[in-house]
């Protein structure tokens, strides 16, 4: 069995996994639960997740908020801040900087996000020597759990399969 990937999940991904149970990412949560992925976080990221869970737009009862938060914290490890951290590029959205820092300080393999500002940093490749910034879909492709929609053009599924085996 390959070594578990160390991952940082941003708040939107956490909502998809632990609140909305987005079926597209069910396999990602299964991999976390099975220990095939190791989730990394810190107090700032947990604080944001807790705060977002309480947003009125989600209409989550206190018990549902606690359940989502507890489910995630049971699967994640707390990363201490590095004593002498390597410099990171500044993310356009200052609220996203903490995810970069946790990925760096936790020696993450991936920062999994759907956030446009973070994905833009990935395209500039300034962090490639430290960790990859990838979408949840890409994480599933790498882990071999991606199932393309049936409506995809012929040949796309074959490309996804070849990526998974690489």
φ, ψ at 107 (rounded to 5°): 55, 45
Query: Where is average pLDDT lowest: 37-41, 100-104, 110-114, 150-154?
Result: 150-154
* Helix/strand/coil for 37: strand
What is d(CA 47, CA 12) in angstroms, rounded to the nearest whole number? 14
Task: Return the CATH number at 91.
Answer: 3.40.50.1010
Query: In this predicted model, which residue has the larger pLDDT, 157 or 27?
Result: 27
Residues 6+ apart with CB under 8 A from 45: 8, 11, 98, 99, 102
Give tens-digit pLDDT for 61-115: 999 999 999 999 999 999 998 888 888 888 888 899 999 999 999 999 999 999 9
156 has pLDDT over 60: no
pTM above 0.85, yes or no: no
Number of folded domains in the chain?
Answer: 1
Q: Which tokens sit at 162? A: 């070849």
Residue-range definition of the domain harbouring residue 112? 5-165
């Amino acid at each position: 069995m390959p070594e578990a990937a160390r991952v940082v999940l941003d708040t939107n991904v956490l909502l998809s996994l632990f609140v909305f149970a987005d079926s597209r990412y069910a396999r990602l949560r299964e991999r976390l639960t099975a220990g095939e992925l190791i989730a990394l976080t810190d107090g700032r990221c947990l604080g944001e997740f807790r705060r977002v869970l309480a947003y009125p737009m989600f209409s989550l009862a206190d018990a549902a908020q606690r359940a989502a938060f507890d489910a995630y914290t049971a699967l994640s490890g707390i990363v201490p801040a590095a004593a002498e951290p390597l410099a990171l590029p500044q993310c356009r959205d200052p609220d996203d900087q903490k995810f970069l820092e946790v990925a760096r300080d936790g020696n993450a393999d991936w920062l999994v996000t759907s956030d446009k500002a973070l994905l833009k940093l990935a395209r500039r490749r300034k962090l490639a020597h430290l960790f990859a910034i990838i979408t949840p879909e890409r994480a599933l492709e790498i882990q071999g759990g991606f199932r393309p929609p049936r409506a995809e053009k012929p040949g796309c599924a074959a490309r996804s399969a070849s990526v998974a085996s690489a």
